[in-house]
Amino acid sequence: MEVTFQSCNGGLTFARHRGVAGQNSFMPELGKSLIIIGAVIVVLGIILWSGIGTGFLGKLPGDIRVERGNSVFYFPIVTCIIISIVLSLIFSLFRR
């Protein structure tokens, strides 16, 4: 990117930015990455919504579920840890 400075009356300066021809920008790569991530989220949402992933998610050993009377407390801590590990591995692959 080229920056040129021009003086005006009273000593004020204005900067004008011009794109250099042939310069690669990271914006198209960012757009492609966002589209891929969005598509993956949509596919995962459809899979979970259809009921395919509900067989094991939230029912792992270590997930906390307390039922007393008409109330239920549920905290899927092991499921959260596994999802965190999987997402960390996926994002580390995108960084390379």
The 10s digit of each residue's pLDDT in 57-92 is: 677 888 888 999 999 898 888 888 988 998 899 888
6, pLDDT greater than 60 = no
CA dihedral for 78, 79, 80, 85, sign (positive or negative): positive
What token pair was written down for 77? 């801590």
Which residue, among 72, 78, 44, 73, has the nearest Cα to 59 in the 3D structure?
Answer: 78
Q: Using a cut of 0.85, tell me whether the model's pTM lies above it.
A: no
9-63: per-residue pLDDT in tens? Answer: 555 454 554 555 555 566 777 888 888 889 988 988 887 777 776 666 677 888 8
In the chain, domain spans: 24-52, 56-96
Question: Residue 26's pLDDT is what?
Answer: 62
Q: What is the DSSP letter of 19?
A: P
Q: What is the pLDDT of residue 2?
A: 47
